[in-house]
Chain A
Amino acid sequence: MYAQMIKSTGSLKSREDMTPEEAAFQDRIDAGDKIEPTDWMPEGYRKTLIRQIGQHAHSEIVGQLPEGNWITRAPTLERKAILLAKVQDEAGHGLYLYCAAETLGVSRDDLTEQLLSGRMKYSSIFNYPTLTWADIGAVGWLVDGAAIMNQVPLQRTSYGPYARAMVRICKEESFHQRQGFSIMMKMAKGTPEQKEMAQDALNRFWYPSLMMFGPSDKDSVHSAQSMAWRIKMNSNDELRQKFVDQTVPQAHFLGLTVPDENLKWNEEKQGWDFSEPDWTEFYDVLAGNGPCNADRIEARQNAWNDGAWFRDGLMAHADKRAARAHAAE
């Protein structure tokens, strides 16, 4: 999940407390209608969605950094081409999502500024470093796997532009997870040293991946309103359980060990029992104290600053040409 801890504006209202407009809006959502940009919507719905889609978009963009780190060091030309294509997809996903957020009346520059100033967040997962090539496998397999868990139901979310962006993203995302698993297979079936690298990558990315779904339901305070609005489709724990159930057999297939002593098949619930991640670490990373928080924002800030002359130059050129064409008329 690329959007964590989204605070929804306004608490869940009972039907009696709703204005006629709010009640009609809720009826549309309950009937499965899609809300479009020009439709009436409660201010809280609009604000919460800007935060959620914005955070999702920022995560796609910042998510390019840990993987971009390995483009020049990919082990083969084929792996390099694949990784380039994947990182380019992430840029595209960020763009689809920024455009969806902009339909709610926030500008692109405003979103960028809020990311750089720290007022908007991105997923905690991208504050962890990619130390070895096996990490690129683990990121595709686990991080994209966790993202898919969240994004597939979001294709049915109530806000039209967001749902449509999700459809495009989901179509492209499955390649990402498969290429990651393919790297893991190669490493896990390779030399003992390679297998050790794969195990080490799983050890480091397991708990941060579980954190992607956000805090445990008992501590997740903002869900009720978002669920009523259908901008959050499943609870955090529900998706986390689904992710673990899907991933554990894949780890076994690779011959790798999930780093959790409490991992045990629960016949009754037909799912795996597992340890929760260290939530202190989660909140600490969100607060800006993860291993790479400062690096990530610095890289985005530099890209923004270094690109200023290019953005302004192209705009000036376009304005000049438009003025000339106008004068010639």
Chain B
Amino acid sequence: MSKEWPLWEIFIRGQNGLSHRHVGSLHAPDAEMAVRNARDVYTRRNEGVSIWVVPSAQITASAPSEKGLLFEPSQSKIYRHPTFYDIPDDVGHM
């Protein structure tokens, strides 16, 4: 059995100057072909002005089991949000 083409994660920058955004993945033999395939698979309707491709194997992800450890500490820090502070109406817009 021959070798399967590796998997690539595809990121596209939309028309409106936003960041590149993950849109999906695809198989390709190398980076150059991944860009070409991404153009056909993910931008058939003018969805982007720039494409990034990243080998899926190169992505390091946080472990789902550490979700609590990583993200719960920020939940109690409500003073990081502007709505925590009461500013009298008389002060005007702030």
Hey, which bits of chain A sit against chain B, CB under 8 A?
36, 38-40, 85, 88-89, 92, 95-96, 99, 102, 107-109, 164-165, 168, 172, 308, 311-312, 314-315, 317-318, 321-322
| Beta-carbon nearest neighbor of A112 in chain B | B4
A92 in contact with B30 given A99-B25, A315-B3 (CB within 8 Å): no
Which residues does chain A contribute within 8 Å of B25, judged by CB atoms?
99, 102
| Alpha-carbon distance between A85 and B45 when the two chains are bound, in angstroms | 11
A172 in contact with B45 given A311-B5, A314-B33, A315-B5 (CB within 8 Å): yes
CB distance from B8 to the nearest CB of A (A): 10
A109 in contact with B4 given A39-B64, A92-B41 (CB within 8 Å): yes
| Alpha-carbon distance between A39 and B29 when the two chains are bound, in angstroms | 29
> 21 A-B pairs, CB-CB below 8 angstroms?
A85-B44, A88-B40, A88-B44, A89-B44, A92-B41, A92-B44, A96-B41, A99-B7, A109-B1, A172-B44, A308-B2, A312-B2, A312-B3, A314-B5, A314-B33, A315-B2, A315-B3, A315-B29, A317-B29, A318-B29, A318-B33
A99 in contact with B2 given A38-B64, A89-B44 (CB within 8 Å): no
| Alpha-carbon distance between A312 and B2 when the two chains are bound, in angstroms | 7
Which residues does chain A contribute within 8 Å of B41, judged by CB atoms?
92, 95-96
Which residues does chain A contribute within 8 Å of B1, judged by CB atoms?
109
A99 in contact with B30 given A38-B64, A108-B4, A315-B2 (CB within 8 Å): no
Which residues does chain B contribute within 8 Å of A107, judged by CB atoms?
4
| Alpha-carbon distance between A38 and B65 when the two chains are bound, in angstroms | 9
Interface residues on B, range: 20 to 34
CB distance from A99 to the nearest CB of B (A): 5
CB distance from B43 to the nearest CB of A (A): 10
Which residues does chain B contribute within 8 Å of A312, judged by CB atoms?
2-3
| Alpha-carbon distance between A165 and B3 when the two chains are bound, in angstroms | 26
CB distance from B35 to the nearest CB of A (A): 13
| Alpha-carbon distance between A138 and B5 when the two chains are bound, in angstroms | 37
| Beta-carbon nearest neighbor of A161 in chain B | B24
| Alpha-carbon distance between A95 and B5 when the two chains are bound, in angstroms | 14
Give the interface centre of A40, A95, A102 by most chain B CB atoms within 10 Å.
Answer: A95
CB distance from B12 to the nearest CB of A (A): 12
Contact of A102 among B3, B7, B33, B61 (CB under 8 A): B7
Contact with A along B1-40 (1 / 0, CB 8 A): 1111101000000000000000011110110010000001
Listed from nearest, the 9 A-B pairs whose CB atoms lie closest are: A318-B30, A314-B29, A318-B29, A38-B64, A99-B25, A312-B2, A315-B29, A109-B4, A92-B41
